[in-house]
Amino acid sequence: MEYQLLFAEVLYKELKDELDLEKIFKLIEKPKHSEMGDFAFPCFELAKIFRKAPNQIALELAEQLEMPPLFEKVQAVSGYVNVFLAQEEVSASVVADVIQSKAHYGKQDHGNGEVITIDFSSPNIAKPFSMGHLRSTVIGHSLARISEKNGFEVVRINHLGDWGTQFGKLIAAYKLWGDEEKIRENPIKELLTLYVKFHDEAEHDESLIDEGRLWFKRLEDGDQEARDLWEWFRDESLKKFNSIYELLGVSFDSTQGEAFYNDKMERVVQLLEKKQLLKESDGALVVETVEGMPPCLIKKKDGTTLYATRDLAAALYRHETYGSERSLYVVGNEQTLHFKQLFDVLEKMGYEWSRGLKHVPFGMMLKDGRKMSTRKGKVVLLEEVLKEAVSLARQNIADKNPSLAEKEQVAYQVGTGAVIFHDLKNHRLNDVEFSLDTMLKFEGETGPYVQYTHARASSILRKGSYHENVDQLSFSDVQSWPVVKSLMDFPDAVKRAFEGNDPSQVAKYVLDLAKTFNQYYGNVRILDAVEGRQTKLSLVHAVQVVLKEGLHLLGVEAPEEM
């Protein structure tokens, strides 16, 4: 990254009358083949400005450039100015930087301490935590870490689905058929059973629907019994959710769900009235949005508020409480219209900070090409998937390395890491096909492959009795250069991941680094080396550091042994 900027600055001295520094930096390419150099600047855009052929411009530029010492050679080829880095000096500098920086390597300062709120996961209380919730949870968790790496202060928010008519139905079902002891033993399963039974029975007895409405009205009015039952269902659900979050290594700064905003919505309605944005439509209150979008419904005909009202209240509360100028909402594709309306209404209300709000959509989790969904109470439970993944990892360890220390911990790290990595290696907008067998393979584009590469690097360092020392690194071999170049790319991957809200940039990066390192390991005798042994071990250590930090940004552990 810094060498690309250095090259851009050198070019800028010659081209400042034609192009600005940022434009030059963006035009610089990384050639696919090493014989074409480490960076290349295309001169085609300058052809119109100078009214010369790109080849001629490249030749003249190559002669004029005064390259700093860390650049070894400049050449003009087919309309490009290609530059070659001084491999020995740059290698020593990069490896020393990684080792001395450790987990701070690749850290950016774009955020400059600015607060960013990230709304993710958001399961519904009293319903199972299914595979459908995995994507929002792991994408949001990774984006939080990536944002911190880019210099932001992050507030992690789990906006729980803990309000609505379904709670009236659930309370009614509990009063009719509930068993307190059973719910305490297995809350989510029992509450779901009650919820499903309520809907089955309501098909034959319509009075149950009225009973559900009555209990929700009592809950809204603050009835003590309804409130106590609702809080109990919420608390029991949270305990179960937290055990899953613990498995995934996910935590939150706020778990204030929809119910928290009940007493904050009237203010939103008043603000909209004051700003003369509310209009009546068939007895309901709406805000007209930009052309091409339906109006945003604020209050129903019967006076009840909706998701939009609640989310407007939440946006105001978060901005006022945390001072955030940016907010990410990691919610599925199907909510795209809702967020467009939400952001448009906030902008119409005159809040400039609304421009910093962003919906981060994602595709579906598929099983055999079909969407995973709740059908008559049957769901694919995330907890069961994670436990099965850990069990398969445990079996792999028993087959391949039965004498491994900390077997249980490693099985957990590999099993959960495989599930998380399988999701995040895909661009978030793509649908993801679920397959435990594919996830847990130790070769190919999988989490265990990257984890195993980290464990291999750790093993080499132990066997080589490595002691950290970066004073006399000497890279005279050609095999190490691809690994060094890959290490250099890490800060750029971190930046791209943040700018695109795209953890797959980091996942693809660690896969590439692991592959490049394994090729190096296959061609170089590291532990048998007498000359340059310390340098080779230092390179291995640098790879270990970056693989661990890359996996950390994805929410995946990096075992020392596997």
Domain annotation covers residue 435:
yes
Given 234, 256, 278, which residue is the final one in a domain? 256
Q: Specify whether 396 is located in the same domain as 543.
A: yes
Mean pLDDT of all residues in 4-27: 95
pLDDT at 439 over 80: no
pLDDT > 70: what percent of the chain? 98
Mean pLDDT (the chain) is 92
**Residue 13 lies inside a defined structural domain of this protein:** yes
Band of pLDDT at residue 434, cut at 50, 70 and 90:
confident
Closest CA to 373 of 334, 403, 341: 334
Q: Is residue 47 part of a domain?
A: yes
* 42 three-state secondary structure: strand
- Domain membership of residue 98 (yes or no) is no
The pLDDT score that the predictor gives to residue 305 is 66
3-state secondary structure 321-368: HHCCCEEEECCCHHHHHHHHHHHHHHHHCCCHHHHHEEECCCCCEEEC
Residues 405, 547: one domain? yes
CA-to-CA distance for 216 and 205, rounded, in angstroms? 18
pLDDT of residue 375: 44
Judgement on whether residues 76 and 173 belong to the same structural domain of the protein:
no
pLDDT at 554: 98
φ, ψ for residue 184, nearest 5 deg = -65, -35
Mean local confidence (pLDDT), 409-420: 96
- Would you state the pLDDT for residue 220? 86
pLDDT of residue 382: 87
Residue with the two structure tokens 């099965």? 388
State whether 47 and 189 are in the same domain. no
Question: Are residue 67 and residue 199 in the same domain, yes or no?
Answer: no
In this prediction the pTM is 0.92
Same domain, 172 and 70: no
425 lies in a domain? yes
Q: How confident is the model at residue 414 (pLDDT cuts 50, 70, 90)?
A: very high
Flag whether pLDDT at 440 surpasses 80. Answer: no
Question: Residue 384 — pLDDT band, cuts 50, 70, 90?
Answer: confident
- pLDDT at residue 373 above 70? no
Of 261, 174, 160, 162, nearest to 212 by C-alpha is: 174
pLDDT > 50? residue 376: no
pLDDT tens-digit profile of 336-347?
A: 999 999 999 999
Q: Higher model confidence: residue 362 or residue 300?
A: 362
Distance CA 385, CA 135 (A): 14
What's the start-to-end Cα distance of the chain, in Å? 33
Q: Looking at the domain assignment, is residue 370 inside a domain?
A: no
Residues 78 and 169 in one domain: no
81, 183: one domain: no
Helix 224-248 to helix 382-400 angle (10° resolution) is: 20
What's residue 377's pLDDT?
Answer: 45
Residue 303 pLDDT > 70, yes or no? no
**Mean pLDDT within 422-448:** 86
Residue 37, in any domain of the structure:
yes
pLDDT average, residue stretch 262-267: 92
* Mean predicted confidence (pLDDT) in 189-215: 92
Give how far Cα 173 sits from Cα of 90, 168, 194, 305, 433, Å.
69, 9, 6, 25, 36
135 Cβ contact partners less than 8 Å away, ≥ 6 residues apart = 332, 362, 363, 365, 423, 428, 432
For tokens 């998380």, the residue is: 420
Range of the domain at 183: 164-256
Max Cα-Cα span within the chain: 88
User: Rounded to an integer, what distance in angstroms lies between the CA atom of residue 122 and that of residue 119?
Assistant: 8
Select from 256, 279, 302 the last residue of a domain. 256
Share of residues in the chain with pLDDT > 90 (%): 81
Q: Are residues 63 and 178 in the same domain?
A: no
Q: How confident is the model at residue 385, as a pLDDT? A: 87
Residue 520 falls within a domain, yes or no?
yes
Distance CA 385, CA 387 (A): 5
Q: Of 202, 201, 205, 223, which Cα lies nearest the Cα of 214?
A: 223
Structural domains counted in the chain: 3
Q: Give the pLDDT confidence of 483-536 residue by residue, as tens digits.
A: 999 999 999 999 999 999 999 999 999 999 999 999 999 999 999 877 889 999
Residues 80 and 208 in one domain: no
Write the pLDDT tens digit of every residue in 122-151. Answer: 999 888 888 778 999 999 999 999 999 999
Q: What is the dihedral of CA 123, 323, 249, 426, to 10 degrees?
A: 70
The reported pLDDT for the residue numbered 158 is 97
Q: What span, in angstroms and rounded, lies between the C-alpha atoms of 2 and 488? A: 9
CATH number, position 7? 3.30.1360.70
Show which of 31, 54, 85 is a domain's final residue: 85
pLDDT value at residue 425: 96
